[in-house]
Structure 1
Amino acid sequence: MQKRQLIQEQKKIYQQALASQLVTAVIILNQDLNIVYLNPSAEALLNKSLAKLYHYPADYIFANTTINNKRLKQLLASGQELTDSDIVIEFSESHRFTAEVTASSVEFDQKPHVLLELKQIDQQKQISLEVFQHQQWVAARDLIKGLAHEIKNPLGGLRGAAQLLNRELNTEQQEYTNMIIEQADRLTNLVDRLLGPNQLPQINQNNIHSVLEKVCQVISFSNEKQITLVRDYDPSIPLIECDQEKIQQAVLNIVSNAIQAIENDCSITLKTRIASNKTINGKRVKLTAQISIIDNGPGIPPHIQDTLFYPMVSGRSNGTGLGLSISQTLVNQHQGKLSCHSRPGHTEFVILLPLTQQ
């Protein structure tokens, strides 16, 4: 009897301490679906304390999500657990995250309660999406390379035959063969642009801000829209190992695209920072130089954001869709990553370049 009582006391002690030690965020709702408990992990995830959220309705957290009062009341009535793996919780524009939510029915003081377990999955989703997009980009690039070579070979034969025929014709007839040669050259140039840069980068130690200043200098010579270039540099960034011309071309392509997309008197910010523990193509990199190109234009159309770096994808009617694809190739040659986040009024391209341990 004494042993059983001791076990029950120990069990109660561990149960009381367990919730505060869990990494999983735990929220408890009473039968009126009001918040009555948050463990420390939930307070950290929601960025609000239990004192601030006590007796707030569940709708305050799960507004505009599939976790609504109707489902929670059904859970209390049936006791059947529910799970949703893609809940976007947004308190404000600056505090937004995606979580996997499990809700179950529990009893406290002989009254039914709802136990909610939240697990943030933003990072896992982002890594999976980036790996998938990189795989798709590689597949698209390889497909275009194969098609380009299949096109270039007969074009070369066509051009050679036209040149030979050109020698046998009079001046009036040469007009037709000259047109064949010109169009063959035009298509060959287009195919070469589709293939993108094929030379390996010449790696040297460079100051990234010197590279960005050259971009600013080039843009200032043809700034018809009077775009304001804002520099926000981190002087503590060490020299990075890169091909100066290739990184300059990658940044210039992005800035040029931004200038074409935004209106007069808008601004473009070139921002540099050191970023730690970043994931590049599925691999964790301890230290990177982060270059952000930010504009306050209309944003990129949502329907092309997932395929933005594929060749021939453009948001402009007169765009070729090659500039960003080439930038992606150039950054990829440096074992780096190019990504984009866009909404109306804010578009940000981010280049991550690994820093060697010094």
Structure 2
Amino acid sequence: MPPNNIHHHILDNLKTAILLVEPNLTVSYINPAAESLLAVSDQRIHGEAITRLFHEQEDTLVKLLDAINNCEAYTKRETVLTLRSGAEITVDYAVTPVLEGQRTSLIIELQPLDRLLRISREEGLLSSQQNSQALIRGIAHEVKNPLGGLRGAAQLLARELSDARLHDYTNIIIEEADRLRNLVDTMLGPHKAPEKQNTNIHEVLERVRQLVEAESDGYLQVIRDYDPSIPDVLGDREQLIQAFLNVMRNAQQALKQDPPEDGEPTVILRTRSMRQFTIGSHRYRLVCRVDIVDNGPGIPEDLRASIFLPMVSGRAQGSGLGLSIAQSILNHHNGLIECKSEPGHTEFSLFIPLEQAS
């Protein structure tokens, strides 16, 4: 049931992706919004089975045939569709039967959710980071004041003690007070505002690569996939080195502790530029994206939502501060770190704006 000229004009100008499906489950029409969403042209898909266009985990054909045979509409929320290119998109979609005589066709409306879900996730990350920093600042104030008094009292006590052996105890008090103060300072992240200047992101990554390769003593393979056209970022070189180094060391330590069964421990450093990209609630004309990908064991599912919080670590010897500090540094550069992980593939994506927000 292809649309007539009037309906064709209306559907072509809708922002909602629309597909018309024949009773034999072949596609008779998709509008431009659907062409853009599904990365296919109307002419190319015309007359093809709907399953050639996309499929999902559930049996799409069974549900569509039920809708035709029973003339019942249905809606699905936050469904992941795999396109013919292999890419995945998250959508809400509604299927509406259209009865014309003895013939039932289907109208499928697709609402893309990936951008909305990503913006919501990023805003949640930023909000969580801000809340944790506010909490840490409050704790630092409450802890460092009495620590100063404790340390001062121990120093005064040491001067009054005539027995040199008792100085060991006051020294322990002073050293432990200093250790706690340093821990609180580390949790607070960088002590000074970033001194931003034009910085070549690849020089930063090469410095990080050299440090990690020296530490790994040859057991780690680092593959570089750089886009040389990326312009300089406005950032603090030393702080950016610290942020990338923290993420790289996480990958290095995970691979050393649990190397892959197939192949050698590998980290990929990849840079790309992104246009018209949104970070949180701000849209930037141009953004630098740095991916740090490893083939390690992956991050446990119960830790993935909290890995950027202070004192959260998947390793017994880990401090749980590296990723929190890295995220804080990126936030100071109006950027963000995201992570997706599964066994054999963990990918940290670091985004740094190259333009002012619009």
Q: Normalised by the shorter chain, which TM-score bucket?
A: 0.7 to 0.9
Which ranges in structure 1 are unaligned for 5 or more consecutive residues? Answer: 1-10
- Determine the structure 1 residue equivalent to 2:189: 196
Query: 2: CA distance between counterparts of 1:54 and 1:339?
Result: 40
Change (3 A) 1:71 1:30: closer
Q: 1:26 Cα shift? A: 2.1
Query: 2: CA distance between counterparts of 1:71 and 1:298?
Result: 39
Say whether 1:209 aligns with 2:217: no
Which ranges in structure 2 are unaligned for 5 or more consecutive residues? Answer: none
Instruction: Indicate conservation of the 8 Å contact 2:53/2:84, yes or no.
Output: no
Amino acid in structure 2 at the alignment position of 1:315? G
Number of aligned residues: 345
Amino acid in structure 2 at the alignment position of 1:349? F
Q: 1:135 Cα shift? A: 0.5
- Determine the structure 1 residue equivalent to 2:134: 142
Deviation track 1:67-95 (CA, whole Å, cap 9, x = no partner) reads 6735863686364x433221111246831
The farther-off stretch of 302-311 and 64-73 is: 64-73
Query: 2: CA distance between counterparts of 1:12 and 1:47?
Result: 24
Q: 1:134 Cα shift? A: 0.9
Query: 2: CA distance between counterparts of 1:203 and 1:57?
Result: 52
Query: 2: CA distance between counterparts of 1:123 and 1:234?
Result: 24
Deviation track 1:166-189 (CA, whole Å, cap 9, x = no partner) reads 222222333322222222122111
Query: 2: CA distance between counterparts of 1:213 and 1:203?
Result: 19
- Determine the structure 2 residue equivalent to 1:337: 336
Change (3 A) 1:189 1:60: same
The farther-off stretch of 245-254 and 34-43 is: 34-43
Partner SS, residue 302 of structure 2: helix
Say whether 1:38 aligns with 2:29: yes
Cα RMSD of the aligned pairs, angstroms, is 2.8
Query: 1: CA distance between counterparts of 2:48 and 2:228?
Result: 48
Query: 2: CA distance between counterparts of 1:26 and 1:330?
Result: 43
Partner SS, residue 119 of structure 2: helix
- Determine the structure 2 residue equivalent to 1:249: 242
Partner SS, residue 234 of structure 1: coil
Deviation track 1:169-211 (CA, whole Å, cap 9, x = no partner) reads 2223333222222221221111111111120111122222222
Deviation track 1:216-270 (CA, whole Å, cap 9, x = no partner) reads 2222322235211222222222232211111111111111111001127322222
Deviation track 1:292-318 (CA, whole Å, cap 9, x = no partner) reads 222222222222222221111112222
Partner SS, residue 216 of structure 2: coil
| Structure exhibiting the larger radius of gyration computed from Cα positions | 1
Change (3 A) 1:213 1:54: same
The farther-off stretch of 66-75 and 134-143 is: 66-75
1:1-358 equivalences in 2 (<5 Å): 13-31=5-23, 34-40=25-31, 41-48=33-40, 54=47, 56=49, 61-65=54-58, 69=62, 73=66, 77=70, 79=72, 81-91=73-83, 94-169=86-161, 170-224=163-217, 226-262=219-255, 263=259, 265-356=264-355
Query: 2: CA distance between counterparts of 1:52 and 1:349?
Result: 36
Calculate percent identity across the aligned residue pairs. 39
TM-score, with normalisation over the residues of structure 1?
A: 0.86
Instruction: Indicate conservation of the 8 Å contact 1:72/1:114, yes or no.
Output: no
Q: 1:142 Cα shift? A: 0.9
